[in-house]
């Protein structure tokens, strides 16, 4: 396993559409392991392959609730409702904004065994799924965010004691 470098800000790869994965090869499995390792190191809850410079339709999600999701060639089948909440992205360090997403989504994806499966997510999981699938289409959250600002502002405004880490989830 190896840590990968996260592409940030104006990196053109973040704005490109990723290609479908044809087969879950051993190389893809190593890539997925590296993505989890890199995501944990950066304390994110999701990571998409283009964020580490690989234009393949692969994303990982772990909301630290004992569920790890590997999403290869994910597609959104259904969405329902709406939620607006503060969001951050590992590719835009220190930036946060309000993003409106579906409140629940139904996604079909391939797992590491090469099988298609269905994930139904609500709330934060729905947000993470949409954020990652956007990455695979070259869409970054700052295009959708309102009230985009530095996350230091939040800590100044709220009296959270000794809170050095930001509270905002990064994907």
Query: Active-site residues: which are they?
Result: 132
DSSP collapsed to 3 states, the chain: CCCCCCCCCCCHHHHCCCECCCCCCHHHHHHHHHHHHHHHHCCCCEEEHHHHCCCECEEEEECCCCCEEEEEEEEEEEEECCEEEEEECCCCCCEEEEEEECCEEEEEEECCCCCEEEEEEECHHHHHHHHHHHHHCCCCHHHCCEEEEECHHHHHHCCCCCCCCCCCCEC
Q: Which stretch binds Zn ion (CB under 5 A): 2-10, 32-40, 82-90, 119-127?
A: 82-90
Q: Is 130 in the site for Zn ion (CB under 5 A)?
A: no
Q: Which stretch binds Zn ion (CB under 5 A): 23-31, 67-75, 87-95, 121-129?
A: 87-95
Q: Is 171 in the site for Zn ion (CB under 5 A)?
A: yes
Q: Given candidates 28, 31, 52, 89, which one binds Zn ion under the rule CB under 5 A? A: 89
Q: Which stretch binds Zn ion (CB under 5 A): 14-22, 58-66, 81-89, 118-126?
A: 81-89
Q: Which is nearer to Zn ion, 24 or 89 (CB)?
A: 89
* Site residues (vs Zn ion, CB under 5 A): 89, 171
């Amino acid at each position: 396993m190896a840590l990968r470098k996260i592409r940030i800000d104006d990196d053109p790869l973040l704005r490109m559409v990723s290609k479908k994965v044809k087969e879950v090869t051993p190389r893809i499995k190593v890539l997925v392991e590296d993505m989890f390792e890199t995501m944990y190191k950066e304390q994110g809850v999701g990571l998409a392959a283009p964020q580490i410079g690989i234009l393949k339709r692969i994303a990982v999600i772990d909301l630290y609730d004992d569920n790890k999701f590997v999403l290869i060639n994910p597609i959104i089948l259904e969405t329902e409702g709406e939620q607006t909440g503060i969001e951050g992205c590992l590719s835009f360090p220190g930036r946060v904004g309000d993003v409106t997403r579906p409140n629940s989504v139904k996604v079909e994806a391939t797992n590491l065994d090469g099988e298609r499966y269905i994930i139904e997510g609500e709330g934060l999981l729905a947000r993470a799924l949409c954020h990652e699938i956007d990455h695979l289409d070259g869409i970054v959250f700052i295009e959708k965010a309102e009230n985009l600002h530095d996350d230091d502002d939040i800590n100044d405004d709220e009296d959270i004691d000794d809170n050095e880490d930001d509270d905002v989830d990064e994907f």
